[in-house]
Amino acid sequence: MSFDITEDCDFVVLVAKDETQFPLPSLALRQASPVFSDMMQMPRVIDDDQNMAPELVKLEEDASTLSFIVKFVTGCSIACSGADPTLQFHNVVVAADKYGMDGLQNFLRVYCRAHWNILASDPIALFAAVRKADWREYFWRATRETLKIDLCLPQHAVAMEELLTSDLKLELSIIRGIRKDVFLDILNSNVVHLSFPADSRPTCTCGCPIVFRTLNLVSEALARLLKDLDARPLGDFVWSQDYQLQDSFLAQCDACETNYIDLSTFAVKVCEPSYAERLADLYPLRSLEHYDKKIYGGF
């Protein structure tokens, strides 16, 4: 719906917390939100010339949030752009719930799917928005985005404190723990070909002894892999050819010509149902997400 600005049009002015003003037809706002409709039942101010002054409605939202809302209720196009589109999206989701704007909430649900790749640039804000809106079909997909990042980095730690409840932070911690347990089980399942007999030097699982220099190289590679999986437990980097072709991961046993750390087997095993479905009980609607079934083990 669009509105023409005419002399007879009854306007209201939304004022952001930084004092930025957004004039718009009051009819549009009343139709979009029962909360705003109730606000505008109050008596209006009449100036000295007997003209009805535009009503000023001061709000807690920032200018970016109100700009999005005003564009929606006046029928203007909305681009997913700006300095921080995901944080803007999150704040609009919160405002839509606060002001009972059902039409905007429905629009945001479609907007989220259409612009997912852009919004996923800030996984924490996206995750917080999806959970706030209770869009259950997006729960797993949003959680999956958080597994791509290191939550200990300062920018992500700050975002978690500002946007997530204690329950959501605990949920992310549990999910990451389960995912890392999966990786450890896989690494202990014929992926790391090292043996440490009590009465002799370390060997390949085929029994061939490993020289100290090679053992040191493989140990450093394994430590790096575990550190990377701990920081980003989606593990998507393991499928990168550049990652797999690092010299430390290419070290082979001279006798059986097997890589001491077999990342190819690791990638295949993550796709096995016994590993890939560990989180199915926590996210029963994950089966609706077919976009990633062929990569990252259903992740």
Q: 82, 81, 103, 84: which is closest to 1 by C-alpha? A: 103
Q: 52, 133, 48: which is closest to 90 by C-alpha? A: 133
Q: What does the pLDDT average to over 93-121? A: 96
Architecture (CATH level 2) of domain 11-167: 2-Layer Sandwich (3.30)
pLDDT at 270: 75
pLDDT surpassing 90 at residue 199: no
Which regions of the chain carry the CATH code 3.30.710.10? 11-167
Q: Which of 8-22, 33-47, 124-138, 157-171 has the lowest mean pLDDT?
A: 33-47
Q: Which of 121-130, 148-157, 288-297 has the lowest mean pLDDT?
A: 288-297
Q: 287, 283, 40: which is closest to 175 by C-alpha? A: 283
pLDDT at 247: 84
Residue range 16-56, pLDDT digits in tens? 999 999 999 988 999 999 998 888 766 555 555 545 567 78
Between residues 182 and 45, the one the model is more confident about? 182
Q: What does the pLDDT average to over 124-133? A: 97
pLDDT at 163: 97
**Cβ(90)–Cβ(159) under 8 Å?**
no
C-alpha of 80 from chain center? 16
pLDDT surpassing 50 at residue 297: no
Instruction: Please tell me the distance from the alpha carbon of residue 123 to that of residue 234, in angstroms, as a whole number.
Output: 13
Q: What pTM value is reported for the model? A: 0.82
**Cβ(262)–Cβ(193) under 8 Å?**
yes
**Cβ(88)–Cβ(79) under 8 Å?**
no
Q: 130, 119, 124: which is closest to 85 by C-alpha? A: 119
Q: What does the pLDDT average to over 158-164? A: 97
